Chain A
Amino acid sequence: MVRLLGYPAITVLAFASVWWLAEAYHFSLRDPRFLDGWILFAGMAAQLLFHIRRNTGTSRRSDDASSSQTHVVIGYVVIGAFAVHTSTTFPEALLEWALWTLFVLVVVSGIVGSYLMVAVPVKIEQHSTPVAFEAIAKRRFELAQQAEVLATTAEDAESLHAIWQLYSTKLRRFFNGPKNLVAHLKGSKLPLKRLCHQIETAELVSDELDRKTLQSLKGLVVEKNDLDFQQAHLGLLRAWTFVHVPATYGLIVLTIIHIAIVYAFSSGVP
């Protein structure tokens, strides 16, 4: 609730403060957009500093959570400064439209990302034991190997044939790489239910030993499904940065060009 109300309040407060400063600057006969523009640039530079620290590894792991929080808060301040700088109106020229679009893209992806950073870990913890994103592929490979071993070592030829039939037609593709990512994002358990149902159906016509093998296979299927769930959500948690960061780089380029143009053509009071 605090986050729900806190961030909009920060934005409104930032907007009010920057607007008041701009009004005061108005008294100096200088275009106040010079002042609020530099305030906006300072905010964006602070945001970029966060990114540089993360990439160069100069920030300590213990500072990660607090610096992420600071990054989000400064982001909302920057939104307020942007609203003042543009006077909450749409742009009227090509270059300004490009700037505006990239900024909005960065802001929207940032807001989505800040929500995901809170929501995804909670969702994963509620679903299963969290696994590091980098370890998911390795664990999936191990599960696939185990499944193949189970499917190929049966007591007799008849059992082997039945289990292998199930494995080769349904399970091998399942174990080969991440599956049903969209379904996991939608919260659907239908693909897992379908597979489990197929295994349970095979159990009905199997003997004791085969049932044990099928139960083990089912356990591997459930574990692999959990890994897919985590991969889907952790992947989403990383995917939004593929929008946010490249858009930021483009925005930086355009911002520098914008500043150059503004000062090249500035007139009136120097």
Chain B
Amino acid sequence: MGTPCTQGPTQKGKCPITFQCAPSKIDGRWQCGRMQAMGGKCWSGPNSDGRCSNTAPACRPVRSLRERRATVSKWAALFVFGIVIIAASYASPTQFLMPGPMTAAHSLQTDCRSCHANVPEGQFGWLRSVLAPAKPKEEIAACLNCHMIDGREQSPHDLALEELEKRTKRLQSKPALNAPSMLARVGNTLRPIKHHTDEGISCATCHREHHGKNFDLNRVSDDRCQSCHAIQFRSFTKGHPKFDSYPYKRRTRIIYDHASHFGKHFPEALKEKAASQSVPKVCTDCHSIEGDKRLMSVKPFKAVCSSCHLNQIVGTERASGPKGIAFITLPGLDLETLREKGASIGEWPQDSEAEVTPFMELLIGLDGPARRFCTAFQKLICWTSRRHRLQRYQPSRHLCGS
């Protein structure tokens, strides 16, 4: 165990030292050149031919830690590469190459080329498609093998290209309305969208597979929708174009409450699983697109509301309150008192509990004496024989008789 020499081992790990020094000739004489660390000049000195007379004992070079680590690293890389080659050779592509499980609808596909039409055949055919350009038309054709779309598959929203161009031009004529978010501006800078729309949009642009069995392929985020839109905005309330040139002069006759229907009534209907009630799921279940597809009108009552409300109107069901919509009713009267007083009321249902309807009030109000009579007897107390309790009625809703 001596001091390491300055030369060090060769690349192959051999000790290159054979003699202890390299003699030098000074004034015609050979001088020993052994280093002080090695013992300094030797007694015997160099040979006459200038070679060192002392052979050096060969050392056994030992691999440095760095060298050992480099060896382990190279073997690790080769090992990983080897494992990958073996797995790629013997495992099926769907086991080895697939990045994640497919949705349930597509999980029966065993050949990657069913969807990735641009990948050549063969166990390692995919290597040839690494640098090959994408072929969106072939990819779309692969989707259309199963999904039937009538020739407008590359157009978003299935709109004809001419229609799309017309709408885009109309919207682009309003530059002041365009207020994209910072994200949209950066995204458009990183990768301008025009480049893609020129070549058309393939299905896989928005419908991404390999995210698991229950992944919703139809789910497209609002941000992605905005990528193509001529006018981009942060949200419905921030930057969305104003609703000018609204085509309707008045609102619909029926004040339909979306919130209560979607929040309460539709979920209740679904729980009851009433076969006759069809619960809408998308906007077009109730609305129809008219004209140049800019107007959303409401479909007729028969198509939209009748499944739930028709029976209530015709009177075979009750929603709440009286059967159907009451026009004329026979209000409840204190028949016993009237008979005692000798009032001739004629035939009157004994058990009637109905109240005067607004229509009846209107009709009675047209008759002067009847109107005066009701005003005079505003606080009429009636009790029914069935319930035996006092009820105080609102003056406008109770008729004492005429």
* A249 is an interface residue with CB less than 8 A from chain B: yes
B46 at the interface (CB under 8 A from A): no
When chains A and B are docked, how far (Å) is the Cα of A15 from the Cα of B89?
A: 37
Of A66-74, A93-101, A204-212, which stretch is located at the interface?
A93-101
Q: Is the CB of B80 within 8 A of A250?
A: yes
- Name the one of A241, A254, A263, A268 contacting B204, with C-beta atoms under 8 angstroms: A268
CB-defined interface of A19-51 with B at 8 Å, one 1/0 digit per residue?
011011111111100010000000000000000
A55 to B130 CA separation, bound complex (whole angstroms) = 32
- Whether A181 sits at the interface, judged by CB under 8 Å, is no
Contact digits for B114-150, partner A, Cβ 8 Å, 1 yes 0 no: 0110110000001101110110100100000000000
Provide the bound-state CA to CA distance between A246 and B101, in Å: 31
- Interface check B108, CB cutoff 8 A: no
B98 x A245 contact (CB < 8 A):
no
In the complex, are the beta carbons of B77 and A252 less than 8 A apart?
yes
Chain B residues contacting A269 (CB-CB under 8 Å) are 196, 201-202, 205
The proximity string for B residues 45-82 relative to A, scoring 1 for CB distances below 8 Å and 0 otherwise, is 00000000000000000000110111011111101110
CB atoms of A266 and B134 under 8 A apart = yes
A29-B224, A95-B96, A249-B74 given; A257·B187 CB < 8 A = no
Contact of A94 among B70, B96, B184, B188 (CB under 8 A): B96
Q: Across the interface, which residues of B come within 8 angstroms of A30, CB to CB?
A: 191
> For B221, what are the chain A residues with a Cβ–Cβ distance below 8 Å?
26
CB distance from B147 to the nearest CB of A (A): 15
Write the nearest CB–CB distance from A128 to chain B, whole angstroms.
22
| In contact, A263 and B190 (Cβ under 8 angstroms) | no
Say yes or no: A29-B227 contact (C-beta < 8 A), given A141-B1, A247-B76: yes
Tell whether A61 is near chain B: CB-to-CB under 8 Å: no
Contact present for B205 and A29 (CB under 8 Å): yes
A245 contact from B69, B136, B190, B203, Cβ within 8 A: B69
Q: Is B267 an interface residue (CB 8 A)?
A: no
* Docked CA distance A20–B187 (Å): 10
Q: Is B350 an interface residue (CB 8 A)?
A: no
Given contacts A253-B81, A261-B126, contact A27 B188 (CB under 8 A): yes
Q: Does B97 contact A (CB under 8 A)?
A: yes
Contact size range, B: 35 or more
Q: Are B190 and A35 in contact (CB under 8 A)?
A: yes
B191 touches A263 (CB 8 A): no
Q: Decide if A253 touches B1 in the complex (CB within 8 Å).
A: no
A63: interface (CB < 8 Å): no
Identity of the chain B residue whose Cβ is nearest the Cβ of A262 in the assembled complex: B99
Contacts of A263 in B (CB 8 A): 130-131
Complex CA–CA separation, A265 to B135 (angstroms): 11
Q: Is the CB of B119 within 8 A of A264?
A: yes
Taking a contact as CB atoms under 8 Å apart, the answer to whether B227 and A28 are in contact is yes
Q: How large is the interface on A (under 10, 10 to 19, 20 to 34, 35 or more residues)?
A: 35 or more
| Inter-subunit contact A29/B201 (CB<8 Å) | yes
In this assembly, does A185 line the interface, its C-beta being within 8 Å of a C-beta of chain B?
no
A145-187 CB contact bits vs B (8 Å, 1 = yes)? 0000000000000000000000000000000000000000000
Q: Which residues of A contact B183 (CB under 8 A)?
A: 20, 23-24, 26-27
For A54, the closest partner residue in chain B by CB is B66
Q: How far is the CA of A18 from the CA of B223 in the complex (A)?
A: 17
Decide if A190 is an interface residue (CB 8 Å cutoff): no
Contact of B139 among A29, A35, A141, A267 (CB under 8 A): A267
CA distance A95 to B76 in the complex (A): 16
Q: Which of B84, B206, B221 has the most C-beta atoms of chain A within 10 angstroms of its own C-beta?
A: B84
Q: What are the interface flags for B91-112 relative to A under an 8 Å C-beta threshold, 1 for contact and 0 otherwise?
A: 1000111111100000000001
Complex alpha-carbon distance, A248 and B73, angstroms: 8
A149 to chain B, nearest CB (A): 15
Cβ contacts under 8 Å, A21 to chain B: 186, 190
Which A residues lie within 8 Å of B81 (CB)? Answer: 253
CB distance from A77 to the nearest CB of B (A): 19
A120 close to B (CB within 8 Å): no
- On whether the beta carbons of A92 and B227 are closer than 8 Å, the reply is no
Does chain A have a CB within 8 A of B87? yes
Q: Mark A214-255, 1 if CB is under 8 A from B, else 0.
A: 000000000000000000000000100110011111101110
Contact of B97 among A29, A238, A265 (CB under 8 A): A265
Given the known interface contacts A137-B1, A245-B69, the answer about A29 and B126 at a Cβ–Cβ threshold of 8 Å is: no
The residues of B that contact A102 with a CB separation of less than 8 Å are 80
Q: Which residues of A contact B234 (CB under 8 A)?
A: none
User: Which residue of B99, B130, B199 contacts A92 across the interface (Cβ within 8 Å)?
Assistant: B99
Give the residues in chain B near A93, CB-CB below 8 Å.
96-100
Q: Is the CB of A25 within 8 A of B130?
A: no
Q: A31 to B100, alpha carbons, bound, how many Å? A: 15
CB distance from B86 to the nearest CB of A (A): 12
Whether, in the assembled complex, B380 has its beta carbon less than 8 Å from a beta carbon of chain A, the answer is no
- Which residues of B, 247-279, contact A by the 8 Å Cβ criterion? none
**Supplied contacts A93-B97, A246-B73, A264-B119, 8 more A-B pairs, CB within 8 Å:** A24-B182, A26-B224, A29-B206, A35-B190, A92-B212, A95-B96, A260-B130, A270-B134
Q: What residues of chain B have their CB less than 8 Å away from a CB belonging to chain A?
A: 1, 3, 65-66, 68-70, 72-77, 79-81, 84, 87, 91, 95-101, 112, 115-116, 118-119, 126-127, 129-131, 133-134, 136, 139, 182-184, 186-188, 190-193, 196, 199, 201-206, 208, 212, 221, 223-224, 226-228
- Ranked nearest first, the 5 interchain pairs of A and B with the lowest CB-CB distance are A27-B187, A28-B191, A246-B76, A268-B204, A24-B186
22 contacts between A and B (CB under 8 A): A25-B190, A26-B223, A27-B224, A28-B190, A28-B192, A28-B196, A30-B191, A31-B208, A92-B101, A95-B96, A95-B99, A98-B80, A141-B1, A242-B69, A246-B69, A249-B74, A249-B76, A265-B97, A267-B202, A268-B208, A270-B133, A270-B136
